[in-house]
């Protein structure tokens, strides 16, 4: 599929020939979702994986510079037009309409722009680095998704672990990091209430770093009510005190309660609020219990993934499936304490042999001087080595050290 230049002056834009669709729109669609979902959304005849590659290459290599063209929403267009502040961006338009409030920001231009909210405008006015996005999509097109070979699997049957429910998550990356925390600690049921950027979302999959099965099984719901509809007991997290007559639980207590209820055949879940302002009191009114995490009282706000991770850690601590670190073909499960590997603790007989060897060499070299202090010195030496709880391998190494010092080693060996 060819690329042609449409428009004039500083509004010249690279478009897909015969469609009027700007290159940036194609890049955006395939970056926000999977490549196949993006192509399906664009629904442009003749645009498939094969014909997409040269379009991505055009953007990734910034060939638009030679064509003196830029896409709407691209940071390059802001640079070309000399727009370096939000004030300059507003002045460039006739008006900017804030859809949620109806507020109108008046400028001196001729175009009208709609924005969902002022926060979105403040974050996005400077444009996106579409050429960087194109490079990422191009890499996925050629080599597949990073870590696509890393695939976990659920640790329990549906209903045997708490449902993790995120209310109106704003960033897809946060959802991905939550999915990773869920996979780390055996929480298999992830539910999303009205995610801002839609669902499914490729950014979430990338941020999940291999927790693909959590992302693939995650379900989106329109409301908290529908997300918790099949659950018998629900806890909701908050950092603020609420004037509600409900049990307040620590993560440890909440996990104990959830395990008890799951064992009795109930289905349970825990709800986490919005990144910006958490849960509303009216929403928490529907909870069976409130969960509050012990924090620094002067700085109580937690990142969404951190909050899920803390609850997940408490859940896994009491699970029979818990493991200290990873277990692979070459790595056995570990228990807390000293890891002896292939060796074992030394016996007292082996220690006695070492003491006799050491004291014999020290005696020969005149270390015990004056002689009357020999018993006290021997006691100190033996107490020191007994206290180290040496392994059998360590005792053999110590005897080798004594022999090496006494007789020399290699070229330093003493002549007979």
Question: What is the model's pLDDT at position 228?
Answer: 95
Residue 285 sits in the same domain as residue 232? yes
Structure tokens, 293: 């995490």
Q: What is the pLDDT of residue 363?
A: 92
The answer on 107 and 6 residing in a single domain is: no
In angstroms, the CA 178 to CA 17 distance is 41
Residue 389 belongs to domain spanning: 348-412
- Distance CA(406)–CA(398), nearest Å, equals 12
**From 6-20, 44-58, 113-127, 289-303, the region with the lowest mean pLDDT:** 113-127
Contact 23, 67 (CB under 8 A): no
Kindly state whether residues 368 and 385 are assigned to the same domain: yes
- pLDDT given at position 197: 87
Q: What is the pLDDT of residue 210?
A: 79
Residue range 309-342, pLDDT digits in tens: 999 999 998 876 666 665 555 566 666 677 777 8
The DSSP element (H or E) to which 399 belongs, if any, is helix 392-407
Q: Tell me whether residue 337 is in a domain.
A: no
As given in the structure block, the two tokens for residue 3 are 């690329």
Q: What average pLDDT does range 209-218 have in this prediction?
A: 86
Give 24-37 pLDDT, tens digit per residue.
999 999 988 888 88
The predicted-structure confidence for 123-179, as pLDDT tens digits, reads as follows 788 888 898 889 988 888 886 654 444 456 666 667 789 999 999 999 999 999 999
Cis peptide before 370 (omega within 30 of 0): yes
Contact 154, 213 (CB under 8 A): yes
Same domain membership, residue 7 and residue 74: yes
Predicted confidence band at 377 (pLDDT cuts at 50, 70, 90)? very high
Buried b / exposed e along 261-274 (16+ C-beta atoms within 10 A) = bbeeeebbbbbbbb
The structural domain count of the chain equals 4
Domain contains 396: yes
CB half-sphere exposure, 348, CA atoms < 13 A: 1
Vertex 317: Cα angle to 315 and 319 (nearest 5): 75
- Is 290 part of any domain? yes
Rounded Cα gap, residues 168 and 193, in angstroms: 5
Peptide bond into 384 cis (omega under 30): no
Per cent of the chain over pLDDT 70 is 90
Q: Determine the distance from the C-alpha atom of residue 95 to the mean position of all C-alpha atoms in its chain, rounded to a whole number.
A: 40
Same domain, 96 and 167: no
Residues 111 and 135 occupy one common structural domain: no
Per residue in 268-309, pLDDT (tens digit) is: 999 999 998 899 999 999 999 999 999 998 888 889 999 999
């Amino acid at each position: 599929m060819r690329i042609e230049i449409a428009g004039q002056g500083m509004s010249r834009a690279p478009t897909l020939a015969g469609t009027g669709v700007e290159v940036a729109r194609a890049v955006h669609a395939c970056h926000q979702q999977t490549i196949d979902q993006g192509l399906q959304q664009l629904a442009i005849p003749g645009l498939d994986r094969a014909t997409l590659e040269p379009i991505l290459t055009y953007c990734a290599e910034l060939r638009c510079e030679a064509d003196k063209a830029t896409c709407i929403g691209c940071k390059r267009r802001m640079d070309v037009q000399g727009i370096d502040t939000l004030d300059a961006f507003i002045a460039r338009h006739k008006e900017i309409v804030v859809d949620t409030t109806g507020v109108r920001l008046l400028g001196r231009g001729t175009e009208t722009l709609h924005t969902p909210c002022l926060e979105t405008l403040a974050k996005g006015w400077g444009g996106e680095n579409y050429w960087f996005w194109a490079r990422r999509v191009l890499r996925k097109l050629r080599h597949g998704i990073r870590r696509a070979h890393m695939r976990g699997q659920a640790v329990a049957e549906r209903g045997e672990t708490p449902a993790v429910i995120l209310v109106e998550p704003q960033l897809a990356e946060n959802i991905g990091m939550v999915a990773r925390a869920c996979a780390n600690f055996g929480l298999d049921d992830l539910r999303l209430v009205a995610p801002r950027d839609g669902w499914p979302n490729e950014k979430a999959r990338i941020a999940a770093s291999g927790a693909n099965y959590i992302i693939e099984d995650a379900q989106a719901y329109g409301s908290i009510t529908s997300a918790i509809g099949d659950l018998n007991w629900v806890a909701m997290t908050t950092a603020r005190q609420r004037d509600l007559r409900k049990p307040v639980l620590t993560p440890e207590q909440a996990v104990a309660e959830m395990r008890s209820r799951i064992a009795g055949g109930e289905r349970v879940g825990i709800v986490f609020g919005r990144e910006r302002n958490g849960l509303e009191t009216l929403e928490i009114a529907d909870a069976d219990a409130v969960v509050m995490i012990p924090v620094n009282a002067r700085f109580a706000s937690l990142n969404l993934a951190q909050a899920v991770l803390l609850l997940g850690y408490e859940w896994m601590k009491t699970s029979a499936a818990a493991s200290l670190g990873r277990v692979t073909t070459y790595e056995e499960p570990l228990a807390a304490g000293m890891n002896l590997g292939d060796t074992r603790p030394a016996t007292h007989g082996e220690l006695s042999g070492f003491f006799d060897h050491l004291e014999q060499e020290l005696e020969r070299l005149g270390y015990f001087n004056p002689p009357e202090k020999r018993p006290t010195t021997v006691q100190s030496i033996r107490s020191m080595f007994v206290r180290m709880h040496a392994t059998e391998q360590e005792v053999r190494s110590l005897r080798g050290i004594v022999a090496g010092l006494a007789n020399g080693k290699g070229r330093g060996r003493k002549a007979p």
